Amino acid sequence: MKGILKSKIFFIGLFLFIFLINAAQATEYRQCTRVVDGDTIILDRNERVRLIGVDTPETVYPSKPVEFFGKEASAFTKRMVQGKKVRLEYDWQRKDKYGRTLAYIYLSDGTFLNAEIIKQGYGHAYTKYPFKYLEDFRKYERESREKRRGLWADDPVASTERLAQGEGNKSPPGQILPNVAPQKSEAVTVYVTRTGAKYHREGCRYLRRSSIPISLEEAKKRYSPCSVCSPPQ
Ligand SMILES: [Zn+2]
């Protein structure tokens, strides 16, 4: 009897241990320390991660001229994750031939970065190799093209130039006074949520659950201004 009881306790203990290990892994968050370009980021412990299923224009190869829309894609990913906590999810292949980790990246509010890049028109669905969200990503790209977002806009070259001018001289939110010396809307960043129909200033209380940066110009096409934080119009 004693032997059976002992082994029961041992197995219960073992299951509990395995369960706790799994639970710990499931909620592990990492820090994004740097964004290399739209689809490649660096995590703490210097781990280089290539986002699965998305391809953004290159900006970093010195031999190539900056690819069309690359700067904007890179700036978008920066605004989304640089300096933030992220959660990783993997597919069938954990590393590529360059030793980069292949992963899906989620923010702590549940925003799915890989999908968001395609939905907002900052990259293509990369379908050369199979992955579990391939059909979803194709659909997002189709929608993004139809709605002429980002890369698919009528005049994305002009918006690239505007972005370059706007970087570095953005006024902090709260100092942008509507009607008084209005800023060029292309240079201003406002925020939207995953499900809402309004756009907001940074820090608005409605952004607690999700906060997706977007240019004011884009926001005005698809969202209406929040009446609580009254963002620039
Ligand atoms: Zn608001």
Whether residue 137 is found in the same domain as residue 211: no
Say yes or no: 41 and 102 in one domain: yes
Q: Say if CB 122 and CB 144 are below 8 A apart.
A: no
Task: Please write the tens of the pLDDT for every residue from 56-75.
Answer: 987 665 555 556 788 889 99
pLDDT of residue 185: 60
Indicate whether 99 pLDDT > 90: yes
Instruction: For residue 10, tell me if it sits in a domain.
Output: no
Rounded to the nearest angstrom, the distance between the alpha carbon of 232 and the centre of ligand 1 is 11
Last residue of one domain, picked from the residues 96, 116, 151: 151
Give residue for tokens 């902090």: 172
Residue 174 has pLDDT above 70, yes or no: no
| Same domain, residue pair 106 and 184 | no
Does residue 20 belong to any structural domain of this protein? no
- 50 included as an active-site residue: yes
End-to-end CA distance of the chain: 77
Separation CA 47–CA 43 (nearest Å)? 5
**CA pseudo-torsion sign 44, 46, 52, 54:** positive
pLDDT, residue 91, reads 95
Q: What is the pLDDT of residue 187?
A: 76
In this structure, is residue 51 part of a structural domain? yes
Range of the domain at 103: 30-151
**Are residues 114 and 176 located together in one domain of the fold?**
no
Residue at a domain's end among 151, 180, 207: 151
Same domain, 207 and 136: no
pLDDT at residue 179, rounded to an integer = 38
Measure 12 CA to ligand 1 centroid, in angstroms. Answer: 50
Q: Estimate to the nearest angstrom the gap between the alpha carbon of 68 and the chain centroid.
A: 20
In a domain, 7, yes or no: no
Residues 202 and 128 reside in one and the same domain: no
Is 161 part of a structural domain of the chain?
no
pLDDT for res 205: 87
25 assigned to some structural domain: no
Q: Does residue 47 sit in the same domain as residue 107?
A: yes
Q: What percent of the chain has pLDDT over 90?
A: 49
Residue of 30, 50, 149, 201 with catalytic role? 50
Active site residue 58: yes
C-alpha 226 – ligand 1 centre gap (Å): 4
- The length of the chain is 233
- CA–centroid distance, 220 to ligand 1, in Å, is 14
**Strand (E) or helix (H) holding 145:** helix 134-146
Same domain, 77 and 138: yes
* Catalytic residue list contains 222: no
> Pairing relation of β-strands 224-225 and 198-200?
parallel
pTM for the model? 0.60
For the segment 76-92, what is each residue's pLDDT rounded down to a tens digit?
A: 999 999 999 999 999 99
21 within some domain: no
| pLDDT > 80? residue 122 | yes
* Shared domain check, 127 and 205: no
Residues 136 and 35 occupy one common structural domain:
yes
Instruction: Give me ligand 1 centre to Cα 144, in Å.
Output: 25
Distance CA 32, CA 43 (A): 4
CA–centroid distance, 90 to ligand 1, in Å, is 34
Looking at the structure, do residues 50 and 147 belong to the same domain, yes or no? yes
Q: Which of 48, 79, 87, 100 is catalytic?
A: 100
The CATH number of the domain where 102 resides is what? Answer: 2.40.50.90
Between 37-46, 67-76, 86-95, 172-181, the lowest mean confidence (pLDDT) is in: 172-181
Q: Which of 86, 120, 151 is the last residue of a domain?
A: 151
How many structural domains is the chain composed of? 2
Whether 117 is covered by a domain: the verdict is: yes
pLDDT(165) > 50: no
Q: Which of 30, 58, 116, 201 is catalytic?
A: 58
Same domain assignment for residues 49 and 107: yes
